[in-house]
Structure formats: structure tokens, C-alpha cells
Amino acid sequence: MLRTKILISFLFCLTLISCSYIPVVNKEPVFNNFKPESKEYRNKLAQIIRSNPDDLTYVFEKYIQKNGSDYLEIKVYGDEIAATAMVLVEQKRSSVNGIIEKKGMAYGGAELYGLELDIIDTSNGATFVFNDLDFIID
């Protein structure tokens, strides 16, 4: 009985933590002065993700289908940043099939643990491409 209460309390706390994000004050001027689709914004976000991807939190916002391609809009949170990444899903992977099949419905706000992105540098700015994902906490 005591174990059950402890387990329920732990799961409740985990749920509160995973679903409640405290607004971050952006201390990175690029994210305040440019739009997420701009070259400057994407390049700065790519630099931050490359420098320390494990110190960031990735949260699914919504699914977008554009020009026949699947995209995930993801919020990227760090100590002093909150940014948006449009992530191209080129190949369907089992770790993201649920989001794609349901077109993101019921996944909004879910944390993406172990998100792996390929970042491709182009003359138009960095492109974020989904590679893999450990699991999703909704």
C-alpha cells in the first residue's frame, strides 16, 4: 500500500514537471530580433544545439505538412534560451510514427527525450532534419 502511494506521488510529480514549462527569458538577441524561418535565427540555433545538445530540452509543438514534406515544430529550451526549430522528417522512423500518423494530435507539449537531429548547413541557413528519438513523455 505504501509503495503504491509512493509510486503514485512520484508519477504525479513527474507529470507536473514534464507538462509545466516555466517561461524562459531569452538572453540571445538573435531569437528576439529574427523570426524562426530566418537564416540568422536558424544558424544561431544550430550553433547552440551543436555546442551542447544534452543540456537542452525539446518539446513538440505541432505537426506541419508543407509541400508534401512532414515537419515537426519543436521548442528548444535552455538555461537562457527558448527557440523554435522546424524539423524536417525525411524518413519515417518508428520513434516518430505516432506523431506523423496522428498529425501531431494529442502530442502537443510532449517532451522529446534523446532527440537526435542532423543539421545541414546551406547557403540559406541551417536545416534541421529528424534523425532519431529515444522516447516521448506526453
Interacting residues of 136 by C-beta distance below 8 A, sequence separation 6+: 60, 95, 98, 99, 107, 110, 111, 112, 113
| Burial of 26 per CB tally in 10 Å (0-12, 13-18, 19+) | middle
Q: pLDDT for 26-44, tens place per residue? A: 889 999 999 999 999 999 9
Q: Residue 22 has what pLDDT? A: 55
Q: How does strand 82-89 pair with strand 69-77?
A: antiparallel
Q: pLDDT for 45-98, tens place per residue? A: 999 999 988 889 999 999 999 998 999 999 999 988 999 999 999 877 767 777
Which domains, and CATH codes, for the chain? 24-137 (2.40.50)
Closest to 83 in 3D by CA, of 114, 108, 57, 109: 57
CA distances from 128 to 25, 27, 39, 91, 116 (A): 24, 22, 12, 13, 10
pLDDT > 50? residue 99: yes
Band the pLDDT of 138: cuts 50, 70, 90. Answer: confident
Residue scoring higher pLDDT (18 or 80): 80
Residue scoring higher pLDDT (7 or 25): 25
In the block, residue with C-alpha cell 540555433: 45
